[in-house]
Every structure is written in structure tokens, then in C-alpha cells.
Amino acid sequence: MINLIAVVIAIAGVLAALGHLGYLAMLNNAAGKRAGGAPVAQYVKTRWPIAAGTTAASLFAWLLTSGGTPLDIIAILLAAGSGITATKALQSTQQKYRSGS
């Protein structure tokens, strides 16, 4: 049962991290197509390490779910931490570049 919980949390962490990675990719692409997009591209460049780190950590956590119960517990902690970090980073970036309502 703990393995199922660990897998679900790991998948959620991966999805959150990939969401942040995808958002940065779209933002960078849009900045490259616009005149005056250099400041946005520079900001995105500083955010890549966070996105890559959370993605790697969540994928590693998912890999750990193939072990026993102690590794499942470590995977839960790692996946939850990376997922929360990715989500907060994504929200921060969205708030910075949110266009009008």
C-alpha cells in the first residue's frame, strides 16, 4: 500500500516539475519571437537550473519507488519536496509574467 502512495506522489512530482519546465520553454520561445524579449529570456535562463533540478529529483524519486518500504518513504519525501518546489517556482514565474485579465 505504501508503494502505491509513493508511486502516485512521485508521478505528481514529475508532472509538476515537467509543467514548470514546459512553461519556461514556452516563455522562452515567446521571448525569442518578440522584439524586446531579451529581459524575459534572461530571466528564463536563470530559472532553468531550478526546473532541471526539480525534474531530476522527481524522476529519481519515481525510480526509488521500485525498492522496498524504506526507499518508498524516501521517494515520498523527495517527490513531495521537488513537486512543491516546482509548483512554487512555476507560480512565481506566472505571477511575474501574467498578462492582463
pLDDT digits (tens, 9 = 90+) for 12-71: 999 999 999 999 999 999 999 988 889 999 999 999 999 999 999 999 999 999 989 999
- Rounded to an integer, the average pLDDT of 70-78 is 96
Quote the Cα angle for 46-47-48, to 5°.
100
User: What pLDDT, on the 0 to 100 scale, is given for residue 101?
Assistant: 45
Q: Which residue has the cell 525534474?
A: 55
- Rounded to an integer, the average pLDDT of 81-98 is 93
Torsion over CA: 85, 53, 56, 92 (sign): positive
pLDDT classification of 96: cutoffs 50, 70, 90? confident
> Cβ atoms within 10 A of the Cβ of 67, count?
13
The Cα 27–Cα 16 span in angstroms is 17
First vs last Cα of the chain: how many Å apart? Answer: 44
Domain count, the chain: 1
The Cα 19–Cα 8 span in angstroms is 16
pLDDT classification of 100: cutoffs 50, 70, 90? low
| Domain membership of residue 92 as a residue range | 1-99
The whole-chain average pLDDT of the chain stands at 93
